[in-house]
Amino acid sequence: MIIGEQKTLEEIKKLVADHDRILILGCGTCVTVCFAGGEKEVGILASSLRMATEIDNQEKVFDEATVQRQCEWEFLDAVEEEIQSHDLVLSMACGIGVQAIVERFPEARVAPAINTTFLGLPEEHGLWTERCAACGECILHLTAGICPIARCAKSMLNGPCGGSQGGECEIDPEVPCAWQLIYDRLKAQGRLDQMLEVMPARDWSTGRDGGPRKLVREDLRLQSQDHE
Amino acid sequence: MKSGSNLEQVLTEGHFAVTSEIGPPKGTSADFVRKTAEHLKNCCDAMNVTDNQTAIVRMSSLAACAILRQMGIDAVTQMVTRDRNRLAMQSDILGAVALGIRNLLCLSGDHQKFGNHPTAKNVYDVDSIQLAQMVKTMRDEGLFMSGDKISGEVPIFIGCAANPFADPFEFRVLRLAKKIRAGADFIQTQAVFDVPRFSAWMEMVRDEGLHEQTHILAGIIPMKSAGMARYMRKYVAGLMIPDDLVTRMEHAQDAKEEGIAIAVELIEQMRDIPGVRGVHIMAVAWEEVVPEIVERARLLPRPIV
């Protein structure tokens, strides 16, 4: 899932500084699960901002709403009136949610209250780590199900590099070396030969390097056109 | 003087500057660089060397510029931010200065999609404006981007590109101002064919007083054939060629002669536009034609400064 992290209250206060009627809009999907921008966090942020602006003697209105998915227009349409009647939407969704609002309601002013950090999973309570770089061409079958693009600091395909020591990455002892993990798994499964082949330079055009990406599913498009 | 380069001196003394350009080989021949440079040597004040132009791998601009320096030519090293991060660029800039290179053109570069390694990762750690700013900090404050101190001087005349034919048109002047703020001492524009549009841009440049804050050299590309004119119009991003010029090329008895004549006319028109401080002639793979163009434009001999 998409992991997000709320910006500091100081930063958020600057985002709302020039506005009076602010709608704090949460999202019920990924950022709810990672406790960054769901209904509960919307409530806490609204209270914090009300208190903070009261102390600063500012008269601001902070209203609250949460939609099931900010990244889909039909869910946003349900709160159209709220969006239009505020002079700032403080979105607690990921960067996709923020842009979905802007595209659906061109007049709306929108600011992000969270940073979209990565695609990952919760390892423990309160600990999330990255798993996928959305590179567009999955090679997990070649790397024992551990992604070196997302989890190796150099995105190397023929690791581990010389900076791997005791299973730790050279950038930070808290970061496990992805290639150590791959090695351990392949060895245990008797598939170490897979690591002996030189993995060729990859095609990065399927990732961000190829420009903004889009996916067209003709089967689905035709179907929807038929309905119309 | 910021760099003491020949180009800087020519411009500072108020001469109408002429720069030219070579595309290095898709190979290892220093002789190719020398031979091409020999053609251009006496008809320009400084010579650009492109950096993996259109994202096709060639001999490095830095290496080819070092060869030009051995020939006593004032070199303009082009640097695109597509292929290098800030570490590589700063280290190449130190090396360039050590090799006697005094001019650097800061570019973002064509996307690798257009070249011969379309599956490559691009870098874009910094963009062209940030590169100019980085070089300025290195030169004026003696600091790396990190704030660490550099030993020795970094005398570089900083160049940037400008494209008056890209959109949004009104923003192009604001972006030029931004490049000047970042550090651009000189500007080489995209090739001009559409003179009215270029003039309109220059008028906006003058309104902002930008022509007095940087040296603007107008880009000139001599057309070799009608096919080339049509190809450039269709495929080269950010280039505008008016129909009447394409028609002229199509109807010409001698297309090459017509291409030269058009280039000479364009240079003369550029000279008449207030604020244009020189021309940058890009005749990649047709370098031998440049002396004739410069001579017919009555820009020979080049000033000795």
The sheet with strand A114-124 has its strands ordered as A2-6, A114-124, A127-132
The structure's pTM equals 0.90
Chain A residues closer than 8 Å to B122 by CB? 204, 209
Question: What residue spans of B41-185 are helical by DSSP H?
Answer: 61-70, 86-98, 128-141, 169-182
To the nearest whole number, what is the mean pLDDT of chain A?
Answer: 94
CB pairs under 8 A between A and B: 18
Chain A residues closer than 8 Å to B119 by CB? 201-205
State whether A211 and B118 contact (CB < 8 Å). no
pLDDT tier, A222 (very low <50, low <70, confident <90, very high otherwise): confident
Distance from C-alpha of B39 to C-alpha of B294, rounded to nearest angstrom: 12
Model confidence at B115: pLDDT above 50: yes
Instruction: CATH number for A2-118: choose from 3.90.850.10, 3.40.50.970, 3.90.420.10, 3.40.50.2300.
Output: 3.40.50.2300
Among the ranges given (A188-197, B51-60, B197-206, B212-221), the one the predictor scored with the smallest mean pLDDT: A188-197
Among the ranges given (A115-129, A193-207, B85-99), the one the predictor scored with the smallest mean pLDDT: A193-207
Among the ranges given (A18-27, A38-47, B282-291), the one the predictor scored with the smallest mean pLDDT: B282-291
Residue B175 · residue B148 · CB < 8 Å: no
pLDDT for position A228: 45
Contact A210/B at CB under 8 A = yes
Least Cα separation, residue B128 to chain A (angstroms): 17
Contact B81/A at CB under 8 A = no
pLDDT tier, B238 (very low <50, low <70, confident <90, very high otherwise): confident
Tokens of A173: 């002892």
* CA distance readout (Å), A132 to A51, A179, A194, B50, B51: 38, 15, 21, 37, 34
Percentage of residues in chain A with pLDDT exceeding 70?
97
SS3 state at B20:
strand
Distance from C-alpha of B261 to C-alpha of B83, rounded to nearest angstrom: 37
Least Cα separation, residue B136 to chain A (angstroms): 28
* Strands of A28-143, DSSP E: 61-67, 88-91, 110-112, 114-124, 127-132
Model confidence at A178: pLDDT above 60: yes
Distance from C-alpha of B80 to C-alpha of B106, rounded to nearest angstrom: 6
Model confidence at A116: pLDDT above 60: yes
Model confidence at A226: pLDDT above 60: no
| Complex ipTM | 0.80
Q: What DSSP line would sit under B232-251, residue for residue? A: HHHHSTT----HHHHHHHHH
State whether B119 and A211 contact (CB < 8 Å). no
Q: What DSSP line would sit under A200-218, residue for residue? A: PPP-GGGSGGG-S-----H
Contact A55/B at CB under 8 A = no
Domain residue extents for chain A: 2-118, 135-200
Model confidence at B112: pLDDT above 70: yes
State whether A202 and B119 contact (CB < 8 Å). yes
Contact B112/A at CB under 8 A = yes
User: At B185, phi and psi to the nearest 5?
Assistant: -85, -30
- Nearest chain B residue to A206, by CA: B119
Report the amino acid identity of residue B187: I
CATH topology assigned to domain B6-296: TIM Barrel (3.20.20)
pLDDT tier, A221 (very low <50, low <70, confident <90, very high otherwise): confident
Model confidence at B236: pLDDT above 90: no
pLDDT for position A225: 59
Tens of pLDDT, residue by residue over A67-110, are 999 999 999 999 999 999 999 999 999 999 999 999 999 999 99
Percentage of residues in chain B with pLDDT exceeding 70?
100
Distance from C-alpha of A10 to C-alpha of B216, rounded to nearest angstrom: 44
pLDDT for position B87: 97
Residue B159 · residue B185 · CB < 8 Å: yes
* Helices H / strands E in chain B, number of each: 11, 8
Chain B residues closer than 8 Å to A201 by CB? 119
Least Cα separation, residue A203 to chain B (angstroms): 4
User: At B62, phi and psi to the nearest 5?
Assistant: -60, -45
Distance from C-alpha of B159 to C-alpha of B141, rounded to nearest angstrom: 18
